Amino acid sequence: MLRGSKVGLRARHEDDIPVLRAELYDDVVNGSRADSRPWRPITPGHPDPRLVVDDTAEDRVPFSVVELESGTLVGTATLWGIDTHSRGAHIGLGLFPAARGKGYGSDVVAVLCHYGFVVRGLHRLQIETLSDNAAMLRAAERNGFVREGVLRSSAWVLGEFLDDVLLGLLAEEWKQGEAA
């Protein structure tokens, strides 16, 4: 397990999947804001492609996020779009509604930075988030990410186009252990 100050990132367990699905993806609003693909219900018992882990995939590393103190599952985190040639990747995370506002997001981003830069030897990490996602913007900026641009009206979310904010962090800019 990778450990931050408040959360740990561990391998996805089979019994995490129904909880992650219920907490993050069954809700139309949350699911629509978390994924660039349109929300659709997944039949109970059918594998959810957003949560099933393929350990052979080299370009994606999914984690389950657990609270360190209790071991309770509180969300999901992913390093995705891993490019081993240019040594870059994207960060994604989703926290359960009850786990938000506790500083877990900043800690998850810090742990993913450690994993990306130290464990994987990447040069650049990138985050794309909706412009109204203040919590993710704060978590990224607390970890040293810099706003690099706005993709105007690039995300279709529940009947309207929203802007995406692009943030980046280079390995030499990252200050390990200084996240808020």
What would the pLDDT profile of 103-139 be if each residue is shown by its tens digit? 999 999 999 999 999 999 999 999 999 999 999 999 9
Q: State the DSSP H helix or E strand holding residue 151, giving kind and residue range, or none if neither.
A: strand 146-157
Q: pLDDT confidence of 177, banded at 50, 70, 90?
A: low
Domain boundaries, the chain: 2-173
- State the burial class of residue 41 (Cβ atoms within 10 Å of its Cβ: 0-12, 13-18, 19+): exposed
- State the burial class of residue 138 (Cβ atoms within 10 Å of its Cβ: 0-12, 13-18, 19+): middle
Output the six-digit token pair for 3. 């450990």
pLDDT value for 67: 98
**Mean pLDDT along residues 27-43:** 83
Q: How many helices (H) and strands (E) does the chain have?
A: 4, 8
**Mean pLDDT along residues 39-52:** 78
Count other Cβ atoms within 10 Å, centred on residue 36: 11
pLDDT value for 180: 41
**Mean pLDDT along residues 11-26:** 90
153 sits in the region (left: phi over 0; alpha: psi -120 to 50; else beta) called: left
- List Cα–Cα distances, 139 to 25, 30, 143, in angstroms: 21, 18, 7
Kindly write down the DSSP assignment for every residue of 51-107, as one continuous string.
T---TT-SSEEEEEEEETTT--EEEEEEEEEEETTTTEEEEEEEE-GGGTTSSHHHH
pLDDT value for 12: 94
Give the three-state DSSP class for 26: coil
pLDDT value for 178: 57
69-98: pLDDT as tens digits = 999 999 999 999 999 999 999 999 999 999
Fold of 2-173: Aminopeptidase (3.40.630)
137-173: pLDDT as tens digits = 999 999 999 999 999 999 999 999 999 999 999 999 9
CB contact at 8 A, 170 and 86: no
pLDDT of 65 higher than 50: yes
**Mean pLDDT along residues 38-61:** 82
Identify which has the larger pLDDT, 47 or 61. 61
pTM of the predicted structure, to 2 decimals: 0.91
